[in-house]
Amino acid sequence: MDLLKDLEMEELCYRQGTNTTIYKALDKEQNVKYIVKQIDLTNLSEKRINNAMYEAEFHQKHIQHPNLVKYIGSYRDKDQLIIILEYANRGDLAAFITQKAYNNEVLEENMIWYILICGMDALRYLHKNNVAHRDIKPDNFFLHEVEGRLQLKIGDLGFGKDLQKQLVTMVGAWECRAPEMYSQSSYSVEVDYWAMGIVLYVMLAFQFPFMRNANTSKEEQRIKLSIMQKELPEIETEFEQLKWIMKQLTIKDFKKRMNSQQFFQLDVVKEKIKQIQGEFDVGHLVE
């Protein structure tokens, strides 16, 4: 595929901030859909441009995992950076949960386990390759259905950061930021596990532990203080094992927080991988 020349833009999906536009596109010859991420570099600072370029370069070097959105290609055209990515045909987890709530339904236990297990495996892979995602949230968990089976695809690595460099920048959704992002001068991969715990909380409770009421600095400060000072509100759920794991992932002391190695050593996780393999695509995890 000759990148954008072979694609026909089908529709505007959404705008991400003021500089990024997301399109759905079709390769008519192959009848395959893609996501085209168009980033306007005109009014961006040099730091933001470098961050955008980093995302493209990062995909080229590191994305080789079944639960991370596949990179197709990228190039810079004057003041535009074009990134072409794999398309997920069932949308994102946030919208999926919203629809479930609208229909007065809950997420099935096996699906929660599938998303949790594959999400933790993707983080294990990134961290092994010395990269922290730093923007784990339901909106960045995409679902793709192939022959009746759902696949998880984690995307939007614009905040992904090489761990060989010190992590100090305040990034990611307010609701998913780990306490040490506020209290420490620097942080590391543990922030991804906290955010994964928040995603699990949302799958169980259908809401964030600390909900945003407005996009203001005052509201950001309120959420910051809640994350730092308060315990997460209790969840009423019959899925006690998932609730316990959520609590281990959201321990405020990052040194005591569960990591991917500890997670995959749990007997319940090993058993669940075997249990859900007929329903979900977890072949890469079956020993």
- Active site residues per annotation: 135
Paired strand residues for 149: 146
Q: Token pair of 123, please?
A: 């983080």
Using DSSP, state whether 83 is helix, strand or coil: strand
Cβ-Cβ contacts under 8 Å for 94 (sequence gap 6 or more):
137, 138, 139, 141
Q: Token pair of 129, please?
A: 């390759």
Q: DSSP alpha helices (H): ranges in the chain?
A: 46-62, 93-102, 109-128, 180-183, 190-205, 217-229, 240-249, 260-265, 267-276
Dihedral of CA 226/256/274/92: which sign?
Answer: positive
Q: Token pair of 122, please?
A: 């993707």
Q: Token pair of 49, please?
A: 């441009």
Q: Alpha carbon of 47 to those of 39, 159, 181, 186: distances in Å?
A: 14, 12, 20, 19
Dihedral of CA 231/135/17/165: which sign?
Answer: positive
